[in-house]
Amino acid sequence: MESAVKRIGVLTSGGDAPGMNAAIRSVVRSAAKMGIECVGIRRGWAGLINGDILRMESDSVSHIINRGGTMLYTARSDEFRTEAGLQKAANTCKLLGLDGIVAIGGDGTFKGARELSAYGVAVVGVPGTIDNDIVCTDYTIGFDTAANTAVECIDRLRDTMQSHERCAVVEVMGRHAGYLALYVGMSVGATAVLVPEDHYDFHTDVAEKIRRARLGGKTNFMIVVAEGAASAVDVGRQIQEELGLDPRITILGHIQRGGCPTAKDRVMATRMGYEAVRVLAAGKTNRVICAHDDKIFDVDITEGLNMKKTLNPEEYEVMEVMSGT
């Protein structure tokens, strides 16, 4: 039976993540295969309000699967949070004849999509954020690339720290979530990892771990800090004042967002993009695409946003054992 969906839009919103281009490519080519026209919406929800669009076909997304960032650009829109802004966005959908929107981004993007659906626009969200903090899915596009970027940087940093027998404090992204910091910390054999989910005590969680590592024969130390847990500069200052070490501070910042996506991010983005179009073609709305046990499926956006996600306690336990503390 032919789908009633004839034309859809695709956009990226919020922070960019490696693999977003692969997801855009998947949406465009999946739509073409299903006989659905696709319109690219530039600059997120702001672009939908302003009608900043381009028609997209299979050739439009050639040679982008390996590119970082997003060819559709991304932005945040205060206007879209207002009733007037939502109405403008809905009017754009009517004007262009869009039967649905695929929104690639994080929880803020999904909340916006849910609000827009109240105006009669079918929406499906695809999780794209390096923080991996979307509660209803085990994996979000961009996490693997960001983690590997951070690990590569820290491995290089460790070489010089080891040569000079120094302490390094490295700040990674993770304003509200410590998944990236914990994963990276375990990957590089960090002495300590600080995450926003747990209020840390400097003496217990940093100083004592460095002392025990030193008593165990280590002469260089690696502290990984999620940006939402503490300031690497402040942690470094405390280490200098209380332990007499001369730490080197490195803030990786937005370097973690860039670069060519890993194979995992490309594959997951492709699978999720395809599923998003399939869900829209089936006449569904208010859905978010999720991954669990290598399966791709969809759940209700509100249900997904209301779920609780915590750090993996096993990873915490293993991290403690590996650091010898």
Active-site residue list: 131
Q: For the CA atoms of 108, 68, 309, 304, what is the dihedral angle to 10 degrees? A: 50
DSSP summary character for residue 262: P
Selection from 271, 274, 293, 290 nearest residue 282 by Cα: 274
d(C-alpha 96, C-alpha 298), whole Å: 26
Selection from 48, 141, 131 nearest residue 95 by Cα: 48
d(C-alpha 208, C-alpha 76), whole Å: 42
Selection from 140, 120, 118, 119 nearest residue 130 by Cα: 140
Burial environment of residue 233 by CB neighbours within 10 A (0 to 12, 13 to 18, 19 or more): middle
